[in-house]
Chain A
């Protein structure tokens, strides 16, 4: 977990926003940025985002709920939310744990994901929920 990225301290309640500013989230991050990673699935390859984990109760849409779109594919378990104006992916409800959101770390106020060293990449092509089938 990361309590500081570059010069930015991760606050226990930290704001996040899309590019155009229409969508603003409030995130509970008492332990900082937890488990930041990339993923190589067909969706994440296009997004290229660094994603961190937040429980469902730790994310509130404080502005722009009406402009948030969501996209589902394949098993349609995960819900991928993005701003309908600027297209920025803000968060998604996870397939592997629907009680958790993945959040776009680049949306966090003051956080530059390029300042996070050695971000691991999940093998989303062979999703854990598909293995053993």
Chain B
């Protein structure tokens, strides 16, 4: 059973060179975060380990705007945020109507590395674009303005 504290805790993550990153706010304790290892080719090559909280909030930032590379592929329903300087994958965003949602790659939060759960392997290959969007709307974190 997940433990929720009474207030949202902020977790700031950055790529290796520090040019881009995020502030993730969640009431879930890190040891209760769902950790997902998506098995698509992109996530495997980046060894992505992602999390999200529909009750939390997420803000991506770029101290060096030119360093933010938005990569899309396949069904092109999400943007994958990569640093042009150091190559780190920090997270992804998608849009549903007027709301944007995101996930973070917890590999850039290495101060928490020893606390996090073992990843659950995920395979979404059979989902079409609308199924993917429905899943993300339920599961991903709303982006704050």
Chain A interface (Cβ within 8 Å of chain B)?
18-20, 42-43, 45-49, 69, 71, 73, 80, 82-89, 104, 106-107, 112-114
Contacts and interface: CB of A to CB of B under 8 A. Distances in A.
A50 B16 CA distance: 18
24 contacts: A19-B41, A19-B73, A45-B110, A45-B113, A46-B107, A46-B110, A47-B107, A48-B46, A69-B85, A71-B17, A73-B16, A73-B17, A80-B87, A84-B69, A85-B71, A87-B69, A87-B71, A88-B46, A89-B87, A106-B45, A106-B47, A112-B44, A113-B44, A114-B44
A45 B85 contact: no
Contacts, number: 78
B16 A46 contact: yes
B87 A82 contact: yes
Interface residues of B, number: 27
Given A19-B45, A82-B87, A106-B47, 15 more contacts: A18-B45, A19-B41, A19-B42, A47-B46, A49-B47, A69-B85, A71-B85, A71-B86, A80-B86, A86-B45, A86-B73, A87-B87, A88-B42, A88-B87, A113-B44
A55 B83 CA distance: 28
Contact of A47 (B41, B47, B85): B47
B69 A48 contact: no
A40 to B, nearest CB: 9
Nearest to A42: B16
Contacts of B15: 46
Contacts of A80: 86-87
A89 B48 CA distance: 12
A18 B41 CA distance: 10
B108 interface: yes
Contact of A20 (B49, B73, B87, B110): B73
A85 B82 CA distance: 9
A27 B42 CA distance: 21
